[in-house]
Amino acid sequence: MAKINKKMPLEGIKVLELGTLLAGPFSGRLLGDFGAEIIKVEAPDKHDPMRQWGQQKDGHGLWWPIQSRNKKSVTLNLRVEEGQDIFKELVKKADVIIENFRPGTMEKWGLSYEELSAINPQIIMTRTSGFGQTGPYKSRAGFGSVGEAMGGLRYVTGFPDRPPSRIGISIGDSLAALFATIGTLTALHERNTSGKGQIVDTAIYESVFSVMESIIPDYLLVDYIRERMGNILPGVAPSSIYLTKDEIYIVIGANADGVFKRLCQAMGQPELAENEIFSTHLARAENMEALDNLIETWTQTLSAEKCLKILEKHGVPSGPIYNAKDMVADPQFKEREMIIYKEHPDLGEFPMPGVVPKLSRTPGRVEFTGAESVGKHNEEIYCGLLEFKESYVENLRRNDVI
């Protein structure tokens, strides 16, 4: 086991996080998990709505401490010249700017990449928007839901006899944040060679489209348009959910030939693997419904617990369908520290997801739950980092600049 290094891998990287809600701030959270100093900038009169999103406890939104973890909160009015000038001072000290405004907003404030890179040629500007910084749709408002729709995900989600559905989380924003984070880390690495920053331009619809597998060659080369198919994947069998005797659904994925043979052995029906209508990947795809019926006939003779034990014994990928209660009780989640507890100033021990991925020598960690009070770190950043006099900071506050 590698010796844990207390220094985190992104320590020394300063990030200015602008924007609200999901895509941009989620990138900030990911970078902060690995040691980047995240300075979250909010308007003094219009705070991030995420502060109140999700379920509430004692007046606190329960999503915010997760999204804002490891972040320092400052207020700054970017709509006024003095606020813009102060932001430029911050840019001189920073490595990355994260923003997810509608394209043109930063330019309107006199904070374009061209202007900011003239101040700091090493600055990286990570820009996330619905449709990207170019193209005929660039000025459109674009939430994650629209990106999921136009990126193709909504069309294939749900059952064939029902309208398109959504996944139960904001997956479009999260995918965009993941790609934006990859782009940011790539640009930081490239900067080590060139000494120059650049723009990371991430569109939500493109982030969704990028994970849509082979839908384009399916259409252009063989005139096939993937449709909604419920719990199955076209051409992949068996890979679905199956009802057990105690009326619990479990997932079984046994589409590879070797794994399918093990499934047949687990079911006590090894001859199925030699049956010509099931013996190959293509044959199983063509006879998917019949195969799924055979499997569910077997699973319904067993409890979920018994069924999963047999499948595990035979090396068949399978598992229960968890809700939050199941996750909290699961020993794998506990062993991997996927539910951690950090002290919240008002709510006490606050549970949240752990850091992903796991690094053996320089792992990430959550230092604190984030600033519950807006502008909590104004003095630290303005008087400390920028070395402003306290009297000047107080004047900025009186004039609603911070």
What are the catalytic residues? 173
340 closest CA partner among 136, 65, 138: 65
- In the block, which residue shows the tokens 């198919």? 229
Token digits for 384? Answer: 């400390």
Ordered DSSP codes for 4-70: PPSS-TTTT-EEEE---SSHHHHHHHHHHHTT-EEEEEEBTTB--GGGG-SSEETTEESSHHHHTTT
84 closest CA partner among 396, 389, 398: 396
Q: State the Cα–Cα distance between residues 279 and 176, nearest whole angstrom.
A: 40
Number of H helices, E strands in the chain: 17, 13
Q: State the Cα–Cα distance between residues 203 and 150, nearest whole angstrom.
A: 11
Distances (CA, A) of 311 to 76, 291, 319: 57, 17, 9
Q: State the Cα–Cα distance between residues 390 and 396, nearest whole angstrom.
A: 10
Q: State the Cα–Cα distance between residues 378 and 275, nearest whole angstrom.
A: 70
CA angle 202, 203, 205 (to 5 degrees): 145
- For residue 124, the cross-strand partners are 96
Helix axes 257-266, 304-313, angle to 10 degrees: 130
> Where do the DSSP E strands lie in 238-312?
239-243, 249-253
